[in-house]
Amino acid sequence: MVEAGIAKGLNVIDAFSAATGNKTLNRAYKMELATEKKAHRRYQARLDSLRFGAIAGGGVALTTGTLAVVNTAPGLWLLSAGGALLSLVSIRRWRRLGSRPVMRNFAPPATPLPRGAIGRDCVKRYLAVRTQVVNMSTSISVLHGDAGREMLNADAEAAVALNALCDRLMVLHQLSSSLPGTAAANSANSAAAVVAQRLELGCDSYDNLLSAAAELLASPDIGGAVNLQPAANSLIAYSYGLMRASDL
């Protein structure tokens, strides 16, 4: 009873530490959401404006044109021509507006595992290397915008698949904890070990990306050739393989 209470208290402490330790990822996630909402609002406002211009201009052109035919008033013809021009310009700009902006799918930080869970250290390592990638991308973006974007794009692609591995580890731990000593618990532990191994490989890919970024920062000519692409592609390819495997 006492041991269970101690374990529960330690898990609460771990959860609080994880929440405060993930400030970087949480802040980046919230900023990405805010940027996405702002871009969508701007696009929607522009779209609504062009729609209004096309409809209102056409309405004015039709109405005043009809009145001009009936009343033969030159001023109405000018007003009709202005409405038609407004409608035409709005329609042309509407067609050039394109589709809605597509933002990076920046994933939120994964949930840390409680003490004693298989793969807990892997999840901690994953959160640490991902935080380092986000922090370093900010520093690199100041010196080389394309390289910083490459790092963030690679993280956005990979984090979705690796977060899914962390979620699986949590579910397997809960299953094992709820049915101790059973065949189901043994199967859950075996599966958790395999998932943790896959997460470790993902962390290795993050490490390779960090190493490439460090080499870029150490380069005397940072504005020269960017050498992050191979490491970024490796991380994206691994996460893509994980997602394809989960679909099978």
Q: Report the pLDDT value the prediction gives residue 64, as an integer from 0 to 100.
A: 80
* pTM score, whole prediction: 0.68
Domain coordinates in residue numbering, the chain: 23-105, 109-247
pLDDT band at 165 (very low <50, low <70, confident <90, very high): very high
What is the rounded average pLDDT for all residues in the chain?
78
How many other C-beta atoms are found inside a 10 Å radius of the C-beta of residue 100? 11
In the predicted structure, residue 151 carries a pLDDT above the cut 80 = yes
Reference 176, options 116, 124, 122, 121; nearest CA is 116
DSSP 3-state assignment of 97? Answer: helix
User: Up-side HSE of residue 170: CA atoms within 13 Å toward CB?
Assistant: 13
User: Mean pLDDT over residues 20-39, rounded?
Assistant: 74
Rounded Cα distance between 239 and 105, Å, is: 14
pLDDT band at 13 (very low <50, low <70, confident <90, very high): very low
Q: Cα-flanking dihedrals φ and ψ of residue 224, to 5°? A: -80, -145
User: Mean pLDDT over residues 125-133, rounded?
Assistant: 91
In the predicted structure, residue 122 carries a pLDDT above the cut 90 = yes
